[in-house]
Amino acid sequence: MKIIDVHVHLLKWMPEVGFCPILTFNQTITDLHQDLIIGNVSHTILIPTYKEDNERDISFEALLNLTSDDLPPSRFSILGSIQVTGEPIQFEKGMKLLRENFASNRIVGVKICLGYEYIFPFDKRLEPIYKLCTIYDRPVVFHTGITLNEDRPARLEFAHPLHLDRVAFEHPELKIIMAHCGAPWFDSAMAVLSKNKNVFADISGMTEDNCLDGPYGQWVVDRIQGVMDYCSPTKFLYGTDYPLARQAVYQKFAKRLRMTKDEEEYFYYKNAKELFGLTWV
């Protein structure tokens, strides 16, 4: 069975040691390739930061500039990203970059980092992005739920999954992916997923490698299983949030979820292929 990982970051960060400023991004790419081979992953969606290049993150523009030798298009696709809450001139520059790369088939959707950016998903500033993604029939992926600690603390009120119901209602043709299934607000995520046919969720970033076998790991499995049982596993996509978790460990985590063989096809492969337009995978 083919596997598509819809949620991968290129960061100078390794689960074994944490943040690694001494790594180059080429070294990070090498580590990623090795991990995908171990997991027998057919295709991967890469998510850049919405910010400028920095000592930890790679920006959207920098990711686009990596060569096909580094990231073969047959194995990797890229989500666009944009800082919505910055200066208007920077937003217009970001929109130009999104339009150009949608037109040239370089990107397969757009990521919005709710919570990290202080903006609700129904904010009118996001309308040009929704229109663009609807035109190209590609999804908007929203960060939802808990956030990592950063220099600029995130605000959880913006990342609550219930807010996506309004976006789904007002934009019925827009494909919406709820990253992290709104964890820990699983009940709200379940309501939004079950009500709106254009909303899906990935299971990425639920746990780090060393948390899977403990009580927290079982709690997460139980909660996701409950949402799947209520909504159907066909509303879900497989994602790891690498480098937060490795393929071998996260696939073991995902296999604890009860699904039929047909439902596994949608979860691991078919939903991603359809939503992101990956006709060649």
| Furthest-apart CA atoms within the chain: distance in Å | 49
Burial status of residue 124 (CB atoms within 10 A of its CB: 0-12, 13-18, 19 or more): exposed
- Return the pLDDT at 151: 58
Per-residue pLDDT for 133 more than 70? yes
- Return the pLDDT at 35: 93
pLDDT tens for each residue of 239-265: 999 988 889 989 999 999 999 999 999
DSSP string, the chain: ---EEEEE--BSEETTTEE-TT--HHHHHHHHHHHHHHTT-SEEEE--BSS---SSB-BHHHHHTS-TTTS-TTTEEEEEE--SSS-HHHHHHHHHHHHHHHHTT-EEEEEE-BTTBS--TT-GGGHHHHHHHHHTT-PEEEE-S-----SS---GGGG-GGGHHHHHHH-TTS-EEEEGGGTT-HHHHHHHHHH-TTEEEE-TTS--GGGTTSHHHHHHHHHHHHHHHHH-GGGEE----BTSS-HHHHHHHHTTS---HHHHHIIIIIHHHHHTT-TT-
CB 139 within 8 A of CB 275: yes
- Return the pLDDT at 16: 56
- Return the pLDDT at 70: 85
DSSP string, 58-88: -BHHHHHTS-TTTS-TTTEEEEEE--SSS-H
Could you tell me what percent of the chain has a pLDDT over 70?
A: 92
pLDDT band at 56; cut points 50, 70, 90: confident
pLDDT band at 124; cut points 50, 70, 90: very high
- Return the pLDDT at 147: 87
pLDDT band at 200; cut points 50, 70, 90: very high
Mean local confidence (pLDDT), 118-138: 98
Per-residue pLDDT for 211 more than 90? no
Going by C-alpha positions, the residue among 227, 223, 193 that lies closest to residue 206 is: 223
- Return the pLDDT at 131: 98
Q: Domains in the chain, please, with CATH? A: 4-275 (3.20.20.140)
Per-residue pLDDT for 15 more than 70? no
Report how far Cα 87 is from the mean position of its chain's Cα atoms.
25
- Return the pLDDT at 10: 86
Least confident range of 17-21, 91-95, 199-203, 215-219: 17-21
Whole-angstrom distance, CA of residue 270 vs CA of residue 30: 27
